[in-house]
Structure 1
Amino acid sequence: MHAELRLVHGIRCGRKRIDRLMRSMGLTGVYRRRNLGVTCRGPRRPVDPDRLHRQFVPDAPNRVGVADLT
Protein backbone atom coordinates (compact mmCIF):
# COMPACT_ATOMS: atom_id res chain seq x y z
CA MET A 1 0.00 0.00 0.00
CA HIS A 2 2.82 2.38 0.92
CA ALA A 3 4.67 1.73 -2.34
CA GLU A 4 1.53 2.16 -4.44
CA LEU A 5 0.61 5.46 -2.81
CA ARG A 6 4.10 6.80 -3.21
CA LEU A 7 5.08 5.48 -6.65
CA VAL A 8 1.76 5.37 -8.50
CA HIS A 9 -0.18 8.25 -6.97
CA GLY A 10 2.69 10.44 -5.76
CA ILE A 11 1.26 10.72 -2.23
CA ARG A 12 3.93 10.89 0.47
CA CYS A 13 3.11 9.48 3.88
CA GLY A 14 4.76 7.32 6.49
CA ARG A 15 4.62 3.55 6.57
CA LYS A 16 3.51 3.53 10.21
CA ARG A 17 0.59 5.84 9.43
CA ILE A 18 -0.58 3.55 6.65
CA ASP A 19 -0.20 0.58 9.00
CA ARG A 20 -2.28 2.32 11.67
CA LEU A 21 -5.03 3.33 9.21
CA MET A 22 -5.20 -0.13 7.66
CA ARG A 23 -5.40 -1.73 11.11
CA SER A 24 -8.24 0.60 12.12
CA MET A 25 -10.16 -0.49 8.98
CA GLY A 26 -9.45 -4.17 9.62
CA LEU A 27 -7.15 -4.56 6.62
CA THR A 28 -3.96 -6.58 6.60
CA GLY A 29 -1.14 -6.76 4.12
CA VAL A 30 0.06 -9.84 2.31
CA TYR A 31 3.23 -11.29 3.80
CA ARG A 32 5.76 -12.83 1.48
CA ARG A 33 7.57 -15.95 2.59
CA ARG A 34 11.24 -15.48 3.23
CA ASN A 35 13.64 -17.35 1.05
CA LEU A 36 15.61 -19.36 3.57
CA GLY A 37 18.16 -20.69 1.17
CA VAL A 38 17.36 -24.02 -0.40
CA THR A 39 14.20 -23.84 -2.46
CA CYS A 40 15.25 -26.09 -5.32
CA ARG A 41 13.72 -29.54 -5.03
CA GLY A 42 15.82 -31.26 -7.65
CA PRO A 43 17.04 -34.84 -7.59
CA ARG A 44 18.34 -35.95 -4.22
CA ARG A 45 22.02 -36.57 -3.68
CA PRO A 46 22.82 -40.28 -3.37
CA VAL A 47 23.31 -41.51 0.19
CA ASP A 48 26.87 -42.41 1.11
CA PRO A 49 27.46 -46.10 1.79
CA ASP A 50 27.48 -47.31 5.40
CA ARG A 51 31.10 -48.41 5.72
CA LEU A 52 30.90 -48.98 9.47
CA HIS A 53 27.86 -51.26 9.21
CA ARG A 54 26.41 -49.38 12.23
CA GLN A 55 29.26 -50.59 14.48
CA PHE A 56 30.51 -47.44 16.16
CA VAL A 57 32.84 -49.21 18.62
CA PRO A 58 36.07 -50.15 16.81
CA ASP A 59 37.98 -53.35 17.51
CA ALA A 60 41.32 -51.58 18.03
CA PRO A 61 42.64 -48.01 18.25
CA ASN A 62 43.12 -46.02 15.01
CA ARG A 63 40.97 -48.39 12.94
CA VAL A 64 37.86 -46.28 12.36
CA GLY A 65 37.43 -42.50 12.20
CA VAL A 66 34.07 -41.41 13.58
CA ALA A 67 32.68 -37.86 13.75
CA ASP A 68 29.37 -36.24 14.66
CA LEU A 69 28.38 -33.58 12.13
CA THR A 70 25.15 -32.40 13.72
Structure 2
Amino acid sequence: MRPEVEYSPVGEGLGMREYWLYACMRKIALVAAHCVALGFTALIGVLSRPGTSLFSWHPLCMSLG
Protein backbone atom coordinates (compact mmCIF):
# COMPACT_ATOMS: atom_id res chain seq x y z
CA MET A 1 0.00 0.00 0.00
CA ARG A 2 1.52 3.28 -1.11
CA PRO A 3 1.06 6.41 1.06
CA GLU A 4 -0.82 9.32 -0.48
CA VAL A 5 1.89 11.83 0.44
CA GLU A 6 5.46 11.03 -0.48
CA TYR A 7 7.99 10.88 2.32
CA SER A 8 10.43 13.80 2.45
CA PRO A 9 13.48 13.62 4.73
CA VAL A 10 13.83 17.42 4.84
CA GLY A 11 14.04 18.68 8.40
CA GLU A 12 14.91 15.37 9.97
CA GLY A 13 18.20 14.41 11.52
CA LEU A 14 21.31 16.38 12.29
CA GLY A 15 22.75 15.96 8.80
CA MET A 16 20.28 18.33 7.18
CA ARG A 17 21.93 21.14 5.29
CA GLU A 18 20.33 24.56 5.67
CA TYR A 19 19.13 26.60 2.78
CA TRP A 20 22.08 28.83 1.81
CA LEU A 21 20.15 32.10 2.05
CA TYR A 22 18.87 31.23 5.53
CA ALA A 23 22.38 30.39 6.71
CA CYS A 24 23.80 33.60 5.21
CA MET A 25 21.08 35.80 6.73
CA ARG A 26 21.60 34.17 10.13
CA LYS A 27 25.33 34.95 10.02
CA ILE A 28 24.63 38.55 8.99
CA ALA A 29 22.14 38.94 11.86
CA LEU A 30 24.68 37.51 14.30
CA VAL A 31 27.37 39.98 13.22
CA ALA A 32 24.89 42.89 13.24
CA ALA A 33 23.67 42.07 16.77
CA HIS A 34 27.22 41.95 18.10
CA CYS A 35 28.15 45.22 16.37
CA VAL A 36 25.09 46.96 17.81
CA ALA A 37 25.88 45.66 21.32
CA LEU A 38 29.51 46.78 21.13
CA GLY A 39 28.53 50.12 19.60
CA PHE A 40 25.97 50.74 22.34
CA THR A 41 28.55 49.99 25.03
CA ALA A 42 31.09 52.30 23.38
CA LEU A 43 28.50 55.08 23.03
CA ILE A 44 27.50 54.84 26.69
CA GLY A 45 31.19 54.83 27.63
CA VAL A 46 31.80 58.04 25.71
CA LEU A 47 28.65 59.83 26.86
CA SER A 48 28.99 58.97 30.55
CA ARG A 49 32.63 60.14 30.73
CA PRO A 50 33.79 57.57 33.32
CA GLY A 51 36.06 58.98 36.00
CA THR A 52 34.48 62.43 36.27
CA SER A 53 32.60 61.26 39.38
CA LEU A 54 31.94 58.04 41.21
CA PHE A 55 28.43 57.72 39.74
CA SER A 56 29.74 58.19 36.20
CA TRP A 57 30.90 54.57 36.23
CA HIS A 58 27.34 53.31 36.79
CA PRO A 59 26.05 53.65 33.18
CA LEU A 60 29.21 52.07 31.79
CA CYS A 61 29.06 49.13 34.19
CA MET A 62 25.34 48.65 33.48
CA SER A 63 25.91 48.59 29.72
CA LEU A 64 28.70 46.04 30.15
CA GLY A 65 26.44 43.86 32.27
TM-score normalised by L of structure 2: 0.25
Comparing both structures, which one devotes a greater share of its residues to helix? Answer: 2
Question: Over alpha carbons, which structure has the higher Rg?
Answer: 1
User: RCO greater where, 1 or 2, for CA within 8 Å and sep 6 or more?
Assistant: 2
Normalization by structure 1: what TM-score? 0.24
